Structure 1
Amino acid sequence: MRLFAMAQPLSGTLAESYLRGRGITSAALAGTESLRYHKRCFYRVGPDAPHETWPALIAAVTDLNGTITGVHRTWLDPAGFDPIRLGKAPVETPRRALGHLLGHAVRFGPTTGIEVLAAGEGIETMLSLRSALPAMPIAAALSAGHLTAILLPAGLRRLYIARDADLAGDRAATSLSECAQAAGIEAITLTPTLSDFNDDLRVLGLAELRANLRMQLAPQDVARLMMPG
């Protein structure tokens, strides 16, 4: 979509600083062409409100063929990261998506010819998982409702569902697990120690996140998908 095309690469931008402030590692951000930065992204509270402009992290929502079907915007505070808003702009709804989202996702890593995939809700949550599992193909569906409807690639053998620790996350994980198993795909739910995997990364640290995930992964995936440590 045009907004994504108008944005600039992530490296060296406020958007990269925002993600690093959320604890995301440089390894997790390597090869994340689905993420870009817009210096002056339009924002308004409602249809009758005046336009504002804020810097924003722009994420491409794609189908299984890599075609962009929508974009997700996270408006950022130009003053930088803070412990209250965690770097998001001081606006009513700092996250919004537009376009065709159902079934699609923000994707990191290969999308075709893969046997293992991790899927979850938020971009930051899934980049946190990628920080510990840099070789794991990742899909962020953006919400619990969209996670239940995510389309899975042909040939997938094992799906890791990175649930958020709330009621909506429980329901989404259960629903997606049932759909995957009905399609003959092994489904394994990954559970955070705190409310989500980004909280685990920020509060508990990468070593603790890795230790938690190591206990939940299939043994054959630990060595090939998890960074040493």
Structure 2
Amino acid sequence: MVETPRDLATRLAIRVEAVCRHYLSNGHRQGRYWLVGDVRNTPGRSMFVRLKGPGSGKGAAGKWTDAATGEHGDLLDVIRESLHLVDFRDVAEEARSFLSIPSPDPGNWIGGHVPAPRGSTESARRLLAMTQPVERTLVEEYLRNRGITALSETCVIRYHPRCYYRADDYAPTETWPAMIAAVTDLFGKLTGAHRTWLDPGGFSDANLGRAPLSTPRRAMGNLLGHAVRFGTGCDVMLAGEGIETTLSVKSALPHLASMAALSAGHLAAIAFPHTLRRLYVARDNDPAGDAAMATLFERTRAVGIEAITLSPRLIDFNEDLRLLGLDALTARLKLQVAPQ
């Protein structure tokens, strides 16, 4: 029989109270719930695990929510976080050990037995599977603190409350809240993910909301030619370097389908939909932006696409949005877009 993560979570849910007593030993039962401080077994009462409920769906047994942080998950998450495990394979082995289930034959596990290659598209897929919507999370706060209001088409952006970070191969593993963005190809197929680790202490002029790390932004998977996409469009689109830059322009021009290439080099290599006839390019005011624009304009001319540069007044469009305001940014962009 093929064993999946859902199978394991379902089996754990059948023994939910035993799981809680073992992995969340600092908590206690109260009625239909197990109460504890958090998923890492801290004493307290903020997190509650359902001890009774259906096998799946809303209100299912084994599902938990932390009222203090908004985090939620299943009993596999409880095992991972309470034991500080990194690889899902270790989580699965621990769950099978608790349930007294023999390990499956190699190759007979779907969704996690074989570790995904580091930085691969499969790693990106698994990371996104562990995220949640951004509403009422630190990601929403981060974006709004940067002046970004165009959040209606940001389903490709997700929140991970404890995303792993290592400064290098020899550094210890840390966990930080993170904004996770899905990178897709022209047909919507996932090719990678972009991580922005966030400062749980909030926004400041010094960190702009990002975590105090040496590299608070990293990408994984297959990125060349692909992008983080906001909205659907075919003949007229916007392309920008970073997520914040692209969403800043979209805050001023909300109906314009947009794509964030994630760097100047990737912006120069972004793939064009075959129906595209006009491309607005939100550039940054730096040498890398100059080089990207030169390459991109050569490519658009070669295939008959009209390319129009949108230039910020300051360093980038997010700085324009934050320091000059939405009205000033909108007025400036209206002078640069085609009248029609």
Is the pair's TM-score, using the shorter chain for normalization, greater than 0.5?
yes
Alignment equivalent of 2:271, drawn from 144, 151, 158: 151
List runs of 5+ in structure 2 lacking aligned partners.
1-124
**Structure 2 CA distance for aligned equivalents of residues 133 and 2 of structure 1:** 33
**Structure 1 CA distance for aligned equivalents of residues 328 and 185 of structure 2:** 33
TM-score, length of structure 1 as denominator length: 0.93
Q: Describe the SS at the equivalent of 2:335.
A: helix
- 1:120 shift after superposition: 1.1
- 1:179 shift after superposition: 0.5
Other-structure match for 1:141: 261
Q: Describe the SS at the equivalent of 1:9.
A: coil
Other-structure match for 2:130: 6
Alignment equivalent of 1:39, drawn from 158, 161, 165: 161
**Structure 2 CA distance for aligned equivalents of residues 22 and 159 of structure 1:** 25
* Per-residue Cα deviation, 1:34-88 (whole angstroms, up to 9, x for no partner): 1000000000100011100000000000000111100000000111111210110
Other-structure match for 2:171: 49
C-alpha contact (below 8 Å) 1:160/1:187 kept by paired residues: yes
Q: Describe the SS at the equivalent of 1:135.
A: coil
Runs of 4+, deviation exceeding 4 Å: none
Q: Say whether 1:59 aligns with 2:59.
A: no
- 1:181 shift after superposition: 1.5
Other-structure match for 1:227: none
Other-structure match for 1:224: none
Partner AA of 2:247 in structure 1: L
* Per-residue Cα deviation, 1:134-170 (whole angstroms, up to 9, x for no partner): 0001010000000010001011110001110011101
Q: Say whether 1:118 aligns with 2:238.
A: yes
| Number of matched pairs | 216
**Structure 1 CA distance for aligned equivalents of residues 133 and 335 of structure 2:** 36
C-alpha contact (below 8 Å) 1:194/1:200 kept by paired residues: yes
Map residues 209-228 of structure 1 onto 2, 5 A cutoff.
209-220=329-340
Q: Say whether 1:207 aligns with 2:327.
A: yes
Q: Say whether 1:71 aligns with 2:206.
A: no
**Structure 2 CA distance for aligned equivalents of residues 191 and 31 of structure 1:** 23
Q: Describe the SS at the equivalent of 2:281.
A: strand
**Structure 2 CA distance for aligned equivalents of residues 65 and 2 of structure 1:** 20
Alignment equivalent of 1:15, drawn from 132, 139, 145: 139
Larger radius of gyration: 2
**Structure 1 CA distance for aligned equivalents of residues 199 and 151 of structure 2:** 20
Q: Describe the SS at the equivalent of 1:219.
A: coil
* Per-residue Cα deviation, 1:173-210 (whole angstroms, up to 9, x for no partner): 12111101111100101110001000000000011101
**Structure 2 CA distance for aligned equivalents of residues 178 and 128 of structure 1:** 26
C-alpha contact (below 8 Å) 1:161/1:177 kept by paired residues: no
Q: Say whether 1:165 aligns with 2:289.
A: no
- 1:31 shift after superposition: 2.0
Alignment equivalent of 1:129, drawn from 228, 241, 249: 249
**Structure 1 CA distance for aligned equivalents of residues 151 and 212 of structure 2:** 25
Partner AA of 2:263 in structure 1: S
Other-structure match for 2:308: 188
